[in-house]
A and B are shown apart, each in its own frame.
Chain A
């Protein structure tokens, strides 16, 4: 479904992603784990088209999306839930949801879909007319996820959805990701929380300073000595 080949991305002269190749099959849930500054956000931002690709290709269902502007990529069904939620702070919760469905022409359909989202995330119904900037971090994350779903994504990419959340909230977010995956949406999960990500993911990649150093099933990586030491904090 998604095929990344020899992708390189640089900020000026600083290379952030170096010759990365990876793929996702339809219906899969795949994780990318890596330390701060490994290039995780850069990688999915390059897929989304919001940072320019230096070389390599990104193909989504046979379309060469690295040649498209970001807004067109989103309309292909490649949707990102950005790091740090990035809700529109001065718009209401409902307006944020509407923006998620920007490409949808049918207003009645958008309305119905927003109500479905409010059923899935009841807090969004309670806060419908509240400005998104005044929501708590956990509520904003719910909103960011719901806003992403409003686009009816085929591939949903999460950038550190558990960042800065309480343990209960983290649990809830991973539960939601599992649900979304079970509904048939392909998921790419970028996380620092390696343990939880590897538990949920069918396959995973380890990204280190812009390169993929390991690729295996989630279960195998959980048992991998290097991963244990570097990402799970288990001495071996």
Chain B
């Protein structure tokens, strides 16, 4: 029971962790919660589905690669576009304005998919045979292994990008101080756009994983996972990349345990409880630095 829950929790946590990164990265550079990120996640799932449907070839590594490439690129591009049209014009407006703009974009994107693709939930085709392993009364599927490892690989790549590349370092610099970054010759707008692209891409990958895991997707699928990923980001200290990764896994595990040991009705409640408790006790997050106002 315990091990089984842990496995399920890690699977779910992988999705939350990837998803949470987009919230935290954008907050890092703009001090703003991108509430449209849950729709980027949803669009990723739809892009992945589109690719799954048009791909003629049978299950293969390259096909999987194409699915994720489409989802990540599509989501990243939309996230970048959202920043350009909905947030950048409001960069110096009061902080409430971009928040309202985000909610507007969110509603727009949901309705766009609902009207163009459909309001019904759509099955995620199982092109890739899933095998189950059973041992000590525990079931582990190849899909769970895939989800976990893909998430971990993407997170390692992100870490490498941030630490080793010039663009990644410029992203860190921009998160620390826009003004000084400009004095270094860094085009802060480009870096912000890139942050949306990368964060959006990771959210898109999470969307596809979510579709594969649950077997179907819908235009409003981003709502609950979005709240959970946001909670994961807060749990890890919003703005803190490693915190979001850890927060995602912790929340995934908590959720599964709550569902397993209490009742499945507590599944969605747990995220809110965690969110409230963290905000009251440790608003800076578990890996909390001090919450500081940036200039």
In whole angstroms, what is the CA distance A40 to B185 when docked? 22
On chain B, the residues within 8 Å of A89 by CB distance are 176
Residue pair B186, A71 in contact (C-beta under 8 Å): yes
User: Which of B170, B173, B176, B183 is the one whose CB lies under 8 Å from A70?
Assistant: B183
B177 close to chain A: CB less than 8 A: yes
Measured between alpha carbons, how far is A16 from B201 in the docked complex, in Å? 44
Do B183 and A91 have beta carbons less than 8 Å apart? Answer: no
Residue numbers in A under 8 Å from B186 (CB-CB): 71, 99, 102
Contact B169 A98 (CB under 8 A): yes
> Which residues in B have some Cβ–Cβ distance to A below 8 Å?
166, 169-170, 172-173, 176-177, 179-188
Which one of A69, A98, A102 has the highest number of Cβ atoms from chain B below 10 Å of its Cβ? A102
Determine which of B169, B172, B182 lies in contact with A49 in the assembled complex, contact meaning CB atoms within 8 Å: B182
Min CB distance A173 to B, Å, is 19
Query: How many positions in chain A have a CB within 8 Å of any CB in the partner chain?
Result: 26
Q: Which of A50, A88, A91 contacts B182, CB < 8 Å?
A: A50
Interface flags for A34-59 (1: CB within 8 Å of B; 0: not) read 00000000000000111000000000
- In the complex with contacts A88-B176, A91-B176, A74-B169 CB distance below 8 A: no
A89 to B187, CA, bound (A): 20
With a cutoff of 8 Å between Cβ atoms, the chain A residues found around residue B179 in the complex are 50, 70, 82, 86
CB within 8 Å of B: which residues of A?
48-50, 69-72, 74-75, 79-80, 82, 86, 88-91, 95, 98-100, 102-103, 107, 147, 151
- Beyond A99-B169, A102-B166, is A80–B183 a contact (Cβ under 8 Å)? yes
Interface residue from B166, B172, B187 paired with A71 (Cβ < 8 Å): B187
Query: How far does the alpha carbon of A161 sit from the alpha carbon of B227 in the complex, in Å?
Result: 47
Q: Which of A80, A86, A91, A151 is the one whose CB lies under 8 Å from B169?
A: A91
The residue that A74 contacts in the complex, of B170, B172, B182, with Cβ under 8 A, is B182
Is there an interface contact between B172 and A91, defined as CB atoms closer than 8 Å?
A: yes
Q: Is the CB of B180 within 8 A of A91?
A: no
